[in-house]
């Protein structure tokens, strides 16, 4: 039986394993490495692992940032997880299940997991927390926290001030991770609404595609603001139907992440939408991107979840039509603007 009051080790003794050598995983590994912690970084790409070892730089995903000497990259999951107590999972959502199945074979009973994955599995429509719950032993699952919020890896790596949210069942574990990550430029707030934090982090990417498409079509700032606001309404609708607290979406993992992803040039999902609005085809856009735009796959899951929970999601549905039914983005906007008139608050 899991002991909720079980104490965790002092931070100076903490060894960390980061699972995923993308931009976000690398940035978090570097943050902790610069704090003096020993960090093992599991990297999928053999060539990238070699480059990080030799050049101390992730040239694939975080170009230009010299990495802490406390980071040890490896292609071996077994080697990466040896002696670690905190495991940061930073894999794309569409490969999360396979990663967790492999990681689970190497986890010690006292493991603490920090999930920074944003998305919803296509086939099962499960959030990352639901995948963890399905695969992990109860004790480890209850020691898992979920991090989300308005953060870009490049800005964290550059030590620019950012804030985010971590949600967990166990407040002691949440506060431990809050302090573990705390620096003068990286601030975490704790919360208990895991579902809300994950839904906000996943669905904002879908709305960002819509906002980018609007910008690509040249529709201006007012249109983008309307899409962000009405997109938030859809996130709250679906979140509430799935058991989230609507208040969560007024915070960093909700409107904070939504605004950032819909407006910033560093946003991969906004970039996808922008290029769609400019007339490019989705296949060509994705072929030209090394990093994953989570919103493309998440759109399919969100569309199916809307049908499952019988929730009205007009913006998300139009993004689905653009991505998966080759709908012209301009026609999608016409559909949104010509819907029957309604009260803003039902």
Closest Cα partner for 35 from 71, 76, 3, 4? 71
Report the DSSP pairing between strands 62-66 and 57-58: antiparallel
Q: Is 273 exposed, middle or buried, given 0-12, 13-18 or 19+ CB atoms closer than 10 A? A: buried
Report the DSSP pairing between strands 57-58 and 162-168: unpaired
Closest Cα partner for 206 from 112, 300, 123, 136? 300
Please answer whether residues 266 and 205 qualify as being in contact, where contact means their C-beta atoms are separated by less than 8 angstroms: no
Tell me the pLDDT band of 3, cut-offs 50, 70 and 90.
very low
For the cut 70, the answer to whether the pLDDT of residue 229 exceeds it is yes
Tell me the pLDDT band of 290, cut-offs 50, 70 and 90.
confident
Please answer whether residues 116 and 143 qualify as being in contact, where contact means their C-beta atoms are separated by less than 8 angstroms: no
> What pLDDT score does 291 carry?
80
pLDDT digits (tens, 9 = 90+) for 121-139: 999 999 999 999 999 999 9
Could you say which of 35, 118, 126, 204 is catalytic?
204
Helix axes 329-337, 268-277, angle to 10 degrees: 90
What SS3 string covers 227-251?
HHHHHHHHHHHHHHHCCCCHHHHHC
For the cut 50, the answer to whether the pLDDT of residue 4 exceeds it is no
What DSSP element (H or E) covers 64?
Answer: strand 62-66
pLDDT digits (tens, 9 = 90+) for 17-71: 999 999 999 999 999 999 999 999 999 999 999 999 999 999 999 999 999 999 9
Per-residue exposure over 201-212, b if at least 16 CB sit within 10 Å of its own CB, e if not: bbbbbbbbbbbb
Average pLDDT, the chain: 95
Cα 268 from Cα 172, distance rounded (Å):
34
Using a pLDDT cut of 90, give the percent of the chain over it.
Answer: 94
> What pLDDT score does 9 carry?
54
Sequence-distant (6+) residues with CB within 8 A of 307 are: none
CA distances from 295 to 41, 269, 292 (A): 25, 6, 9
How does DSSP classify residue 93? Answer: G
Cα 331 from Cα 198, distance rounded (Å):
31
Cα 39 from Cα 20, distance rounded (Å):
12
Cα 291 from Cα 188, distance rounded (Å):
25
Domains of the chain: 11-192 (3.40.50.720), 195-337 (1.10.1040.10)
Q: Is 204 a catalytic residue?
A: yes
Please answer whether residues 221 and 228 qualify as being in contact, where contact means their C-beta atoms are separated by less than 8 angstroms: no
**What is the mean predicted confidence (pLDDT) over 292-298?**
91
Terminal-to-terminal C-alpha distance of the chain: 45
pLDDT digits (tens, 9 = 90+) for 159-178: 999 999 999 999 999 999 99
Residue 122 burial (CB count, 10 A): 15
Tell me the pLDDT band of 14, cut-offs 50, 70 and 90.
confident
């Amino acid at each position: 039986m899991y002991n909720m009051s079980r104490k965790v080790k002092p931070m100076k003794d903490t060894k960390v394993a980061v699972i995923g050598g993308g931009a976000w995983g690398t940035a978090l590994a570097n943050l902790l490495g610069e704090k003096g912690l020993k960090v093992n970084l599991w990297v999928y790409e053999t060539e990238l692992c070699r480059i990080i070892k030799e050049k101390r730089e992730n040239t694939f995903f975080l170009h230009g940032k010299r990495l802490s000497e406390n980071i040890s990259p490896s292609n071996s999951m077994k080697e990466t997880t040896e002696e670690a107590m905190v495991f940061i999972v930073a894999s794309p959502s569409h490969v999360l299940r396979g990663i967790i199945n492999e990681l689970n074979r190497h986890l010690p009973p006292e493991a603490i997991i920090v999930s920074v994955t944003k998305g919803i599995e296509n086939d099962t429509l499960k959030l990352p927390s639901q995948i963890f719950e399905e695969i992990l032993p109860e004790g480890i699952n209850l020691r898992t926290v979920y991090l989300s919020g308005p953060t870009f890896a490049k800005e964290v790596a550059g030590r620019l001030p950012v804030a985010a949210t971590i949600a967990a069942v166990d407040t002691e574990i949440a506060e431990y991770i809050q302090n573990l990550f705390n620096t003068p430029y990286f601030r975490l707030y704790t919360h208990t609404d895991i579902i809300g934090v994950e839904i906000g982090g996943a669905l904002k990417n879908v709305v960002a595609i819509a906002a980018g498409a609007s910008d690509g079509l040249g529709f201006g700032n007012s249109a983008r603001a309307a899409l962000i606001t009405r997109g938030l309404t859809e996130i709250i609708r679906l979140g509430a139907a799935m058991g989230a607290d609507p208040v969560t979406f007024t915070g960093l993992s909700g409107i904070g992440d939504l605004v950032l992803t819909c407006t910033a040039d560093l946003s991969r999902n906004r970039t996808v939408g922008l290029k769609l609005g400019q007339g490019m085809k989705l296949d060509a856009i994705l072929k030209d991107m090394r990093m994953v735009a989570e919103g493309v796959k998440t759109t399919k899951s969100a569309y199916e979840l809307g049908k499952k929970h019988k929730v009205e999601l007009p913006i998300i549905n139009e993004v689905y039509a653009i991505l998966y039914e080759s709908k012209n983005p301009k026609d999608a906007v016409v559909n949104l603007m010509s819907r029957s008139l309604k009260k803003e608050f039902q």
